[in-house]
Structure 1
Amino acid sequence: MGRPKLNLQFFGEKNPKKFWDMKMSSDKSNEADIFIYGDITSYRWNESDTTASSFKGDLDQLGDVSTLNLYINSPGGSVFEGIAIHNMLKRHKAKVNVHVDALAASIASVIAMAGDTIYMPKNSMLMIHNPWTFAIGNATELRKQADDLDRIAGSAFQSYMQKAGDKLTEEKLQGMLDAETWLSADQAFEFGLCDVVESENQMAASINSDLFQRYKNVPQSLIDNPKTTISADEMALRQRIADEAKANQAYLETILGGMYK
């Protein structure tokens, strides 16, 4: 049996729609807006066909902007894509303002750490945890998988620590990652993972309940009241994201089913 491969990503259709959108700000000519809504995905049909490289292409096409406004509402997804996007934003010469519109969970929270200033409405959340994967193999191969996961986790760990500074110890952060911790805006601010806590955003309370199945410590308040009234355009966007996520999940199950037949 060959060495197992890390599968820290979701699969999808060959020509999927992007999980991000970039455009110049309508009211300021030297600013651009980036929206990351939904799952962060990777489609490796060949070595060049990755969403991280496409993200970079779109970022480069924005030209010489002085400010990037990044809006996030994502349950996470591909670790490697997320880390690549985080590093692209950190290297960019523009000031990066991050707005957590509703949820920045898992690798989406690592992307958020690229912000020079991170804004969170009071009813938005940040979720951090250790990376996970699925694998097959013998005992030696599975131990190597665990070692690989530890190294991958180190990249995210450093991103959180760099942002938190002296507001968070390494021991405290590791405990939070081990426990899968859901942070309110006030808690994120306390630990240095958010710079500005804003008044409640009605849209920020609207979160797709499908993501709850992925994680083990979802706050009861989100389960009991996952959303409030939002605009028709926003509802349509969220429905599209949900439909694409379901299609991706169905494709993944088809692949996995074939592996065990």
Structure 2
Amino acid sequence: MKMSANKSADIFIYGEITKYAWEEYGEVSSITFKKDLDELGDIDTINLHINSPGGSVFEGIAIFNMLKMHKAKINAYIEALAASIASVIPMCADKVYMHKNSMMMVHHAWTWASGNAQELRKAADDIEKISKSACQTYLDRAGNKLTEKKLEELLDAETWLSADEAFSYGLCDEVLPANEAAASISASLFAQYSNVPQSLIRGISQQAQGMTDEEKKLRNRIAAEAKAGAAYIETILGGMYK
């Protein structure tokens, strides 16, 4: 986050949205976001810049609500990619802008679940409620440009929208000229999506080729530690609710 003149600030969500954020890799969590937002103090305008493959639904919802409740006018700019929960966050803005060569991906929320039949049914019910909440967020932004039936079709198909398509559905207010920003790439997240455009898949491959062995080892270690921490916390929470 950067302060600008005239009581305005630029906020950048450039990376995965996760509870276990490593800022050096551009990752964002609701905790780090709130801390930085509070430090901005009294501002009238927020320019929100997004280039993110998505991530944690609840972390993203928390960020959405922080911005929605903020008194500042919010202008959201999708620089290259707003996928999954990162496509929900800009829906809080007063105006949403997309560069001509940027993309927005929408899909139903998903989760991992384990346990007995009752627990699995509850997990399915919970994730359906989360999806319905996100669905309403899109509809509120789109107005009469997008019906609930059409939105369901887009979500079911994991749809990657161009800027012009997002504009036609009312999910952005203005299409800006193309820029040179590269889409934020998360190989682990993209591997779980079904319809990733080939251009982004090539970008993942090129990114991996450009990494040194030490960088690859460090990323693998960070990912392993994050997964282990998440599994440990899930074990604790699971014990609390049983």
**Relative to 1, partners in 2 of residues 1:189 and 1:246: Cα closer, same or farther, differing over 3 Å?**
farther
How many pairs are equivalent? Answer: 221
Kindly indicate whether residue 174 of structure 2 is the aligned counterpart of residue 174 of structure 1. no
Letter in 1 for 2:9: A
Aligned residue in 1 for 2:12: 35
Aligned residue in 2 for 1:164: 142
Identical counterparts, % of pairs: 57
Aligned residue in 1 for 2:2: 23
- Higher helix fraction (1 or 2): 2
Tell me, in whole angstroms, the C-alpha distance in 2 between the residues paired with 1:163 and 1:79: 19
- Alignment gaps of 5+ in structure 2: 22-27, 235-242
Q: How does 1:81-96 map to 2 (within 5 A)?
A: 81-96=59-74
- Alignment gaps of 5+ in structure 1: 1-21, 45-49, 229-234
Aligned partners of 2:52 and 2:183 also within 8 Å: no
Aligned partners of 2:183 and 2:200 also within 8 Å: no
Aligned partners of 1:125 and 1:185 also within 8 Å: yes
Once the two structures are superposed, residues 83-104 of structure 1 have per-residue CA deviations (whole angstroms, 9 ceiling, x without a partner) of 1111111111111011111111
Aligned residue in 2 for 1:120: 98
2:49 match: secondary structure = strand
**Relative to 1, partners in 2 of residues 1:245 and 1:66: Cα closer, same or farther, differing over 3 Å?**
farther
Aligned partners of 1:37 and 1:72 also within 8 Å: yes
Letter in 2 for 1:97: N
Tell me by how many angstroms 1:70 deviates. Answer: 0.6
1:80 match: secondary structure = helix
Q: How does 1:75-224 map to 2 (within 5 A)?
A: 75-203=53-181, 205-208=182-185, 210=187, 211-224=189-202
* TM-score with structure 2 setting the length: 0.81
Aligned partners of 1:95 and 1:116 also within 8 Å: yes
Tell me, in whole angstroms, the C-alpha distance in 2 between the residues paired with 1:32 and 1:82: 20
Tell me, in whole angstroms, the C-alpha distance in 1 between the residues paired with 2:200 and 2:29: 30
Tell me by how many angstroms 1:251 deviates. Answer: 2.1
Letter in 1 for 2:224: A
1:197 match: secondary structure = strand
1:120 match: secondary structure = strand
Letter in 1 for 2:2: K
Letter in 2 for 1:137: G
Tell me, in whole angstroms, the C-alpha distance in 1 between the residues paired with 2:230 and 2:46: 39
Root-mean-square deviation (CA), in Å? Answer: 3.0
Tell me, in whole angstroms, the C-alpha distance in 2 between the residues paired with 1:156 and 1:68: 22
Aligned partners of 1:207 and 1:226 also within 8 Å: no
Tell me by how many angstroms 1:54 deviates. Answer: 3.9
Task: Using CA pairs under 8 Å that are at least 6 residues apart, name the structure with larger relative contact order, 1 or 2.
Answer: 1
Tell me, in whole angstroms, the C-alpha distance in 2 between the residues paired with 1:115 and 1:207: 21
Aligned partners of 2:96 and 2:173 also within 8 Å: yes
2:10 match: secondary structure = strand
Tell me, in whole angstroms, the C-alpha distance in 1 between the residues paired with 2:67 and 2:229: 33
Q: Which has the higher mean CA deviation after the structures are superposed, 58-67 or 180-189?
A: 58-67
Aligned partners of 1:206 and 1:227 also within 8 Å: no
**Relative to 1, partners in 2 of residues 1:227 and 1:113: Cα closer, same or farther, differing over 3 Å?**
farther
Tell me by how many angstroms 1:114 deviates. Answer: 1.2
Kindly indicate whether residue 242 of structure 2 is the aligned counterpart of residue 251 of structure 1. no
1:194 match: secondary structure = coil
1:214 match: secondary structure = coil
Once the two structures are superposed, residues 164-211 of structure 1 have per-residue CA deviations (whole angstroms, 9 ceiling, x without a partner) of 1110001111111111110000000000001110111111x4442624
2:127 match: secondary structure = helix
